[in-house]
């Protein structure tokens, strides 16, 4: 800002020419600039102004957590090189003492020479240090073609962070595709503007931030968040839990299907490859429909390895899923082998019990249907107990799912008691009539059912105990600390407490603003982190609805909101009481009473 003093004579000589220039029909802007140059001379400097493009709240902490979670972070921005470098420093991607490699050349030959010189320096250096790489948009265009993309990715993969500045939307998408071509991992793109749409759509997972830049990125993305800091919860909590639930549901489905299939195979081999199934047809249908379908649903909906707070507190737990420790070929074949082992235990325990001969007091001897029903009960009981011991958090709904599956099986079996060969109420196999009563009246059959389930489950329990005692990992350590603190048991009714908090609301007069801060939606780059007075309240100090006279000082237009802002955060109940009295006193002595409106009370 600068100033120049004009006399009345100078102004009167200059003003007609400026007026003619302002109303000219042709070349108006050029004529106005010519007139302005006549007086914009010998100026006296008053000061300078600047606009700071501040980061959102929690960006630095979120990026640090993403790095701890084993993710490589690339920044693709349209800002110039100096701005991009400063943003990297402010968000913690670039440390002050970190070596920085800059590729900002004007020709393909110079870009190739600079790239190869950096690669040779890194290959010759044997010390493991963190390096930052900054690439300009013009050089990036050269690196993405002419067979330099492989060398560029080799260099970028050796750097701890990569910043590409002055990028066009197509260049952002090209960088994402470059990573997909030469990297086995998945790509996630985060953007908040229309120039990020191509990048978001090219990535495996697109996340859009809705806010100041519009809704184009959010509409084109797979997920939408309001602030960048919510990306940590999206990945470390919701993403990790979704992956954990999906993988465990898949493994359990293969396990329970393998159990039933191997039992049918063993019976077919025992019966000399006859076409007769050991289970009746309805039991085979209801096994996957009712008897074993609810536990995997409970696992896929309510199960979680850690509590939400622990998963946000320890971002390194996200590495468990990245390294495939919760789902891999070894774990898959272990579940398959477990299903085969359980099938062998169930079949042969029940088989050798019936081989000894089972005869009831009424003279009836156990037949094939009794043998198959006993084995079916042992199978359903085993797979449901297996689901219970494999769940990492037992909620009310998971208990209902497991118990409901067993109840539905017994309801199905007892329905046969309503039938008899002479007066059938339901068209069923006559051999199944009163079969469950005969099983309950035989201690040997009941013992075989219980023994087969106990032996099968004991193998899994013993394996888990030995694994946690001899081969403890990070997951076991965190679980031990969580159980020791008593926080793990909160998940039993966590969803119901959330529902209760949603249904029951407390009046605002009973809420403390210190203990329950107001939630903010959206963001502002100029908002200070942890500020006492939000930026939105500072803007509303002045009442924009009241007409202002030209040249009136802003202090004279102070809004009636200012006392509410200054008295917004009482430090104690005593201060809250006196502040309320002071507020009422000032409201009674105001010269102007503002009109009551719902807009005034909106946050």
Q: Which positions ≥6 away from 187 have C-beta within 8 Å?
A: 176, 179, 180, 203, 204, 205
> d(Cα 556, Cα 562) in Å, to the nearest integer?
13
Phi-psi region of 355 (alpha: psi -120 to 50; beta: other; left: phi over 0): alpha
What is the number of residues in the chain?
603
79 known member of a binding site = yes
> d(Cα 193, Cα 215) in Å, to the nearest integer?
7
Query: Which residue carries 């008897």 as its tokens?
Result: 291
172 known member of a binding site = yes
Query: Which residue carries 């800059």 as its tokens?
Result: 102
196 known member of a binding site = yes
> d(Cα 250, Cα 332) in Å, to the nearest integer?
9
Extended strands (E) in 27-96: 44-45, 73-76
Contact 85, 104 (CB under 8 A): no
> d(Cα 57, Cα 227) in Å, to the nearest integer?
8
DSSP helix/strand/coil, 567: coil
How many CB atoms neighbour CB 209 within 10 A? Answer: 24
239 known member of a binding site = no
DSSP helix/strand/coil, 505: coil
Pairing of strands 2-3, 44-45: antiparallel
> d(Cα 559, Cα 536) in Å, to the nearest integer?
14
**Tokens encoding 92:** 């913690």
Contact 217, 208 (CB under 8 A): yes
Contact 43, 131 (CB under 8 A): no
* Nearest C-alpha neighbor of 370 from the set 280, 236, 452: 280
> d(Cα 586, Cα 590) in Å, to the nearest integer?
6
Chain Cα centroid distance, residue 209: 14
DSSP for 210-230, please give it: -BTTBSHHHHHSSEEESSTTH
Contact 93, 73 (CB under 8 A): yes
191 known member of a binding site = no
Residue ranges for the known binding site for Mg(2+) are: 192, 196
Residue ranges for the known binding site are: 77-79, 166, 172, 192, 195-196
Residue ranges for the known binding site for ATP are: 77-79, 166, 172, 195-196
């Amino acid at each position: 800002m600068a100033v120049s003093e004009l006399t009345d004579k100078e102004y009167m000589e200059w003003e007609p020419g400026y007026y003619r220039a302002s109303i000219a029909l042709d070349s108006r802007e050029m004529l106005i600039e010519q007139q302005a140059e006549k007086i914009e001379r010998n100026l006296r400097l008053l000061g300078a102004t600047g606009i700071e493009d501040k980061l959102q709240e929690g960006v630095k902490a979120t990026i640090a957590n993403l790095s701890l979670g084993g993710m490589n972070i690339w920044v693709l921005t349209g800002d110039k090189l100096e701005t991009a470098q400063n943003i990297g420093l402010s968000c913690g991607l670039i440390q002050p003492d970190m070596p920085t490699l800059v590729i900002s050349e004007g020709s393909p030959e110079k870009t190739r020479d600079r790239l190869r010189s950096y690669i040779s320096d890194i290959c010759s250096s044997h010390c493991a240090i963190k390096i930052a790489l900054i690439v300009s948009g013009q050089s990036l265009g050269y690196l993405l073609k002419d067979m330099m993309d492989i060398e560029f990715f080799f260099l970028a993969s050796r750097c701890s962070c990569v910043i590409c500045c002055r990028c066009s939307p197509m260049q952002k998408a090209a960088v994402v595709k470059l990573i997909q071509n030469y990297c086995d991992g998945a790509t996630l793109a985060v953007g908040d503007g229309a120039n990020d749409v191509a990048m978001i759509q090219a990535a495996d997972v697109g996340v859009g931030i809705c806010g100041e830049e519009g809704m184009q990125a959010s509409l084109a993305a797979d997920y939408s968040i309001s602030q960048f800091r919510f990306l940590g919860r999206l990945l470390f909590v919701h993403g990790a839990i979704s992956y954990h639930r999906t993988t465990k549901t898949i493994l359990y489905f293969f396990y329970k299907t393998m159990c039933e299939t191997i039992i049918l195979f063993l019976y077919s081999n025992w019966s000399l490859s006859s076409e007769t199934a050991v289970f009746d047809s309805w039991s085979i249908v209801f096994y996957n429909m009712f008897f074993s379908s609810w536990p995997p649903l409970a696992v896929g909906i309510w199960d979680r390895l850690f509590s939400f707070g622990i998963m946000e507190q320890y971002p390194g737990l996200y590495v468990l899923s990245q390294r495939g420790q919760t789902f891999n070929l070894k774990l898959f074949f272990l579940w398959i082998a477990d299903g085969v082992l359980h099938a062998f235990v169930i079949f042969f325990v029940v088989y050798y019990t019936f081989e000894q001969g089972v005869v009831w007091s009424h003279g009836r001897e156990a037949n094939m249907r009794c043998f198959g029903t006993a084995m079916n009960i042992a199978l359903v009981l085993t797979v449901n107990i297996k689901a219970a011991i494999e769940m990492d958090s037992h909620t009310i709904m998971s208990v209902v799912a497991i118990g409901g599956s067993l109840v539905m099986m017994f309801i199905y079996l007892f329905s046969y008691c309503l039938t008899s060969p002479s007066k059938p109420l339901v068209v069923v196999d006559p051999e199944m009539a009163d079969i469950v009563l005969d099983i309950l009246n035989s201690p040997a059959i009941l013992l075989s059912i219980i023994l087969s389930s106990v032996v099968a489950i004991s193998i899994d329990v013993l394996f888990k105990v030995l694994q946690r005692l001899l081969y403890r990992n990070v997951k076991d350590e965190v679980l031990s600390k969580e159980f020791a603190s008593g926080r793990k048991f909160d998940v039993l009714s966590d969803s119901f407490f959330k529902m209760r908090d949603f249904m029951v609301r407390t009046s605002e007069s009973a809420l403390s603003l210190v203990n329950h801060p107001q939630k903010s939606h959206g963001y502002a780059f100029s908002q200070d982190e942890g500020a006492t007075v939000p930026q939105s309240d500072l803007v509303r100090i002045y009442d924009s609805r009241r007409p202002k006279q030209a040249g009136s000082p802003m202090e004279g237009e102070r809004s009636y909101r200012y006392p509410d802002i200054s008295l917004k955060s009482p430090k104690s109940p005593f201060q809250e009481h006196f502040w309320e009295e002071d507020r009422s006193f000032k409201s009674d002595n105001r010269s102007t009473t503002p009109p009551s409106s719902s807009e005034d009370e909106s946050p």
